[in-house]
Each structure stands twice: as C-alpha cells, then as structure tokens.
Chain A
Amino acid sequence: MLKTFPKGGIHPPENKLTADTPIKKMPVPRVVYVPISQHIGIPAEIVVEVKQKVEIGQVIARSGGYVSSNIHAPVAGTVTKLDMIVDTTGYKKQCIVIRTDDKNESNYQEPEFPLIPEIAMAPEEILQRIADFGIVGLGGATFPAHVKLHVKADKHLDCLIVNGVECEPYLTADHRLMLEKTDEILVGIRILMRALHIERAIIGIENNKRDAIERFRERNPKGSGIQIAALQVKYPQGGEKQLIRALLGREVPMNGLPLDVGVVVHNVGTVFAIYQAVQHNRPLMERVVTVTGKKLEKPSNFWVKIGTPITDLLAEAGGVPEGTRKIVSGGPMMGKALKSTDVPVTKGTSGILVIPDDEASRGEPRSCIRCGECVDVCPMGLEPHLLMNLTEKSLFEKAAREDILTCIECGSCSYVCPSHRPLLDYIRFGKSITKQLQTKSA
C-alpha cells in the first residue's frame, strides 16, 4: 500500500490536461507589472524611480523586514510608472511597471544553463543567497524561503521534505518541472541539505505522476540520502501537515510548525529556484504556470516572467473560449477567482484555469441534512457544519473553542456537501473575525 495521510481527504477528478505538454517559453512581454507584495509578510520597498533604466535581475524593491523578500527586475527596460493595480488576490497593490527594452539582448538571449552538480558555497552563504535572491515558496503560499530555513537552536531538524505532490486538479507546473529539471532539483535538494546540515531528504510525489517518480529514481545518485516516495492520490496531500503525516507518520502539533517535528518542507518549484540562485546566480524572475481549462484551445505549461499580464498568457493558450464564466488563479480547490485578466503573474501564480458556464455556478444551498460528509473529509478533524453554524450565529468564541483557526482552507468540506452549503466561505469569515477578536484581547 502506498502511503497517505489517514484522516479525511477527497478525490476530485484530476483533469491534468497538460501532463504531457512540455513547458514552453512565453514570449517576453512588452510591459511587465511587478507588485511589491508577492509574498506573505511585509511588502518590499521600492528602490527605483520612474524613467530609471533597469537591468535584468536588478533589485527593484528591497525586502522590507525579516519576513519579506527582495524583488528583481524580470526584464531589462525602463520603469515607466509606479502604480496601484489589482493583483490576483483582488486587492490593489503597489506595483512597478517596466517597459521592456526591445534592443537589450539580455531579454532575448537567455544564457544556457548547463547542470552544475558541484556545490561550492558554504551553508551560511547559501542561506544568504536564498534571502537575497527573492526566493519564496512557489507552491502557492509564497512564504519567504529563508525564514522557513532558519532553524532555531532549540529545534532538532532531521529531514527535508520536498513537496512534489501537486494535488490540485488541473495543475501540472510542478509535474512538468520535475520531468524536465530532474537533475537540477536533485542538486537543489543537496544544496538545501548542506545549508541545513542534514543527511536526509524525501521527495513526496503522488502516484498519478509515475513518470516523474521513475525519472527521479533513475537520476538520484546512490548514497545521496534522498528518498523518492510515491504517495496515494488524495487531496489535500500537498498540505504541509498532511504531507509530513503521510511520509513520516509525524503529526505537527496543533498551532505548531513542521520544525516542531524536525521537518522543513519546500516545494519542488522552490527547490529549483534555489538551484538557479545558488548555482547560476539567477534571482527569482520567472516561474512555470499551467494555463488550462476544458474548453481552452491550447492548454499549456509556460515559463513566464513575473509581471506578465494574465491576458497575455490566455492569448498564448488560444484565447479565452466562448462561454467562459470564471477565471481562476491557481487550482480549482484553493485558487482565487479573478475579476479581470488584467492582472500580472506573481511568484505565487501556479496556474490559470478557465471554467465554462456549466461548471462555474454553485448549486443552490439547502439545509444541512447532517450527513456528516464534511466531517468525514476534513483532514484537520474539524466539524465544518458546526463551524459554519457557529459563524452564522456569530458565536465566534465557541468557534474558536472548536478550533476554527486550524482550518487549512482546503475546501474539501464545501466540495462534498450534498446540500451545497458554502461551508468554507463561512469558516473563512469566522476565522478572520476570531483572529481579530483574539488580537484585540491579547
């Protein structure tokens, strides 16, 4: 039996339309829109001015604090504007607009990157590099990577987990990356093992990506300390806590962090970005984005410059099909519906999904029939029907006692509810109020 996490989880249709589509380079856009807050934490501070010329990879916004991240120019060009624009979260954020320099060769002649397997840097240098080069979690959480890698002296760390689960339906960015950059990722893992002074790493991959599992097993040098683990297919296995439970049988304590059980988790995309930063001096300026949807003409995986408008991506994939009613940034389970496609790709954009009319609307909510399905599928052992009920009645203290804050917002409860109850909508709201109340009283 393949491993998985024991409690809860669902099996939505996988719809990995682009699993066999190699990653293609998106043409360099004429204009990029680079928000200064693409990560969790403090926004970066802009260090360029309007009309200033910037080189590719130059820092254009500097980390605003410890939990923050540098932001680099994804193209060489001229800053034309410092503007407020709506990003994928739906909020207006400050943003640096750069017009691409058509004549600058560095935009069009990307250097070749032959594999460099030897690691020259010392552990501290590696950590510094990761912080300087703007690496954040690329799985979607966008947590600054250097913060996660900082292990306090009182914690005992013994294992790095590399998240290659990609449990969201439709998305294949990580899958393709694992197939096409297998060796680079393996070197990236060794870089992290060195930086963290550990001997053990596990790559967790769901069994619907057999080819990636086999490719890794072939390429993984003997005695590397890296283990390739095939996992049962089950959503939300890509959640850190679920993945650690599945691979190591360790359960992160409530309100705790992976470090409490001796683990650090990084996504494969992040590991590749770290490889690029450490071995090739490349700051984080581009990422893989899956552009997909059942009605889309050319569902694709693209290498995309940060700041590229999503409109451009959709045009490259054949244009928004007739009858599209919803456009989602991310996967169908946890992604954000967009109001418009005039928003840029950021470090956290793993996919763009277009949903046709017949799948876009939710069913009419009906009364809870107390079937317990939501309770069965909740991977955190919560009672979603109860949490929604308490939130509806504004009983936030009670909701806090029922552990509403531990909800990971995976959406499994809303997915299964046969009465189409908007469980997660209410729970999200309940969480935010509960948090506010707690900070007030603290």
Chain B
Amino acid sequence: MSDQPIIVSASPHVHSDRTSKKLMYDVVIALIPAFLVSLYVFGLQALLVTGVAVLSCLLIEYLIQRYILKSAVTIGDGSALITGLLLAFNLPAGLPVWMIVVGSLVAIGIAKLSFGGLGYNIFNPALVGRVFLLVSFPVQMTLWPTAVENNTTLVDAVTGATTLGLIKEGVQFGQTITELSPQIPSVTSMFLGITTGSIGEMSALALLLGGLYLLYRKVISWHIPVALLGTMALMTGIFWYVDPEHYANPLIHLLSGGAVLGAFFMATDLVTSPVTKKGMVIFAIGIGVITVVIRLFGSYPEGISFAILIMNAFVPLINSYFKPRRFGSKIKVKMV
C-alpha cells in the first residue's frame, strides 16, 4: 500500500464524470454558433459588446468576492462567463460601454452575489441586468442597428425597429399586417438571423443548433423549450387565426423577439428553473402565456425577459407544489 493514508468515506465510492463546471462550459460551447452569427451581422460591435459584458462580469465577481465578501473567488466555475455572454446576447449592438458595465454590475452584484452567489439566486442574473437597463435607458436599449454593409467599422448610424416592434407600432397606428408586410423580413431571413434585434437573439438557426447541443449533452431537457415555444405558438396561433390582419402569425413570434434564445438558454437556467419535469412544464407554460400577453397587450413588443423573471419568482412555489411521486404512495395495490 502507498504511504498515503487510506480514505474511509461513506458510499457511494464512484461518481459520474459530470461536473457543474463541465455543464457550464457546455453552455458556453452552445452559444458559439449564435455568437458567430452576431459577428457576421454586427461585426466588431458585437465583439465589443460581448467582450465588455463578459470581462466586466468576471471582474465584478472577482472584485466583490475578493474585497467585499472576502470569500472564495469562483470566477473559474464558468457561471459568470455565461452571465456575461447571455447579458450581451440580450443587448443591442452599439450600446455605450458604460451601460454594459452597469448592466453587468446589476447582474452579478445584485442578482447573483447579493442572494448568496451561484445556486442561491432566484432570478436569472443576465435578465435582471438586461431588464434593469431596459427600464433605465429605454431609448438606447431599443436602438437597433441593422445589419451593417461594411461590418468592420463601428457605425451606429443605421438603426431600425425589430420585427415585433414594427408590427406592434404599425398595428397601433391602424395599419394591417398586409400593409406592413413589405417591411417584415421574410421567415427565412429571420430564421437565419439577418434582421435586427439583440446581439444573440437573431438567428433561430444558430440558437437551435446550440440548443440541440445542450439537449444532446443532457445539460437541459426538452421540457422547458418545447412547452414554452409550444404555448407561444398555440396562443399566438389562436389570435392570428381569428384576426390575421392585426396579429402576426405564430412563426414570426417564435422567430423573433428572443423567443428561441429565451426558451433554450434563459428559461432553462438550472438555478432559476424548477427541479422536476412536471414543474418545468408548468413554469414554461407560464412564461409562454405571460410573454404572449405582454407582446399582444402590453407596452413591450418582446416581453420574454419579463415573463421569465416573473416565473422565476414562482419557482420555489412550483418546487414545493410539483413534487415527484414518492415510491409506494398513492397506489392501488394491484395483484397480477
């Protein structure tokens, strides 16, 4: 036997090779396709926003843990990196750098660390950062640069409305969807991501690729994305069926306004979503319903960020209500 003492710990004596760190880095990998699309569409602006968000999230976490909390520094676990990426993905290209830093500070400092750090936060940190910015700086946060022709310069001249914003405004001013249709991008270009919007929400295709990777790696399960997108499709579908001139078709809803990003990457955040599959489905249906209500009747065209945050607040309740069935309870003893 070696000279080191033998270890006497309790069973089990083996462990699966999955670790939370690996899960986090899988999420980072899954975000790569969408990031590449944003680089293609927004050029250096996307790189700038993402870089600033990620660096400031990491730095803020480091500084707070090191100098204020005087606790162990956990920036290596990948979670601050993800918060930074997801925050950037929810911001428009061209947002002033200092605003990004403020968003990161809110995300990491308030939404994450003040709750006790990773695992204790109730709200999705990136979304808290984003919504804070949206409420504080509504103008800058809805200044959407369109796809730049020459994507190597940091231009901020060309701006346009997002698809949903466009429809919402048009319908409010009495236009019908048919009249608006020349301005609505084709489904194909929305699917590929050649439209306007936040950096990372553009390309449904790229996000789906990442989402499939997460499903394949079992980082997430299908329940939240399917239930969320399904609910949205069903609800917007009913409105569209009844009145297609004033309500956009479900495909437009699913492909824009961050629905895919929200369904695969934001709502599925492990910490802020329910633990059981049943709970996940309820949670996702809730997000879907709230999103559609905000989009159709509220004052924001996108709405999914708010919906997720609202449902985040219900997660503890969902967890205590939708428990797994205990083995041997609620059974009829049947003899075969």
Contacts and interface: CB of A to CB of B under 8 A. Distances in A.
A327 B12 contact: no
A368 interface: yes
Given A325-B4, A406-B326, A418-B20, A253 B333 contact: yes
Interface size class of A (residues with CB under 8 A): 35 or more
B274 A372 contact: yes
B4 A250 contact: no
B325 A381 contact: yes
Given A262-B335, A324-B2, A424 B327 contact: no
B12 A414 contact: yes
B242 interface: no
Contact of B271 (A253, A370, A379, A412): A370
B120 interface: yes
B118 A325 contact: no
A229 interface: no
A317 to B, nearest CB: 14
A412 B15 CA distance: 9
A334 B11 CA distance: 5
Interface stretch (A102-110, A204-212, A336-344): A336-344
Interface string B255-278: 000000000000000110111110
Contact of A249 (B11, B12, B274, B336): B336
A202 to B, nearest CB: 11
Q: Is the interface of B mostly helix, strand, loop or mixed?
A: loop
Contact of B328 (A169, A252, A385): A252
Contact of A418 (B13, B23, B117, B274): B23
Contacts of A7: 324-325, 327
Interface stretch (A266-274, A299-307, A354-362): A354-362
A280 interface: no
Contacts of A382: 324, 326
B135 interface: no
B119 A361 contact: no
Among A169, A320, A333, A414, find the residue whose CB has the most chain B CB atoms closer than 10 A.
A414
B299 interface: no
A248 interface: yes
Contacts of A403: 326, 329
B157 interface: no
B9 interface: yes
A47 interface: no
A369 B270 contact: yes
A424 B328 contact: no
Contact of B10 (A260, A338, A379, A428): A428
Given A371-B23, A403-B326, A411 B12 contact: yes
Among A12, A245, A256, A375, find the residue whose CB has the most chain B CB atoms closer than 10 A.
A375
A369 B271 CA distance: 5
Contacts of A422: 10
B80 to A, nearest CB: 14
Contact of A326 (B13, B77, B334): B13
Given A248-B336, A366-B20, A418-B19, A411 B11 contact: yes
A397 interface: no
B8 A338 contact: yes
A297 interface: no
Contacts of B117: 367
B66 interface: no
B7 interface: yes
A56 to B, nearest CB: 34
Contacts of A368: 119
Nearest to B117: A367
Contacts of A367: 117-120
Contact of A420 (B13, B19, B276): B19
Interface of B: 1-2, 4, 6-16, 18-20, 22-23, 77, 117-120, 270-271, 273-277, 323-329, 331, 333-336
18 contacts: A12-B16, A248-B336, A249-B334, A250-B334, A253-B328, A320-B1, A332-B12, A357-B2, A367-B117, A369-B20, A369-B271, A370-B273, A371-B275, A403-B326, A420-B15, A422-B10, A424-B10, A425-B10
Given A366-B119, A424-B10, 11 more contacts: A241-B328, A255-B328, A325-B2, A328-B13, A337-B11, A338-B8, A357-B4, A370-B273, A380-B326, A415-B16, A418-B19
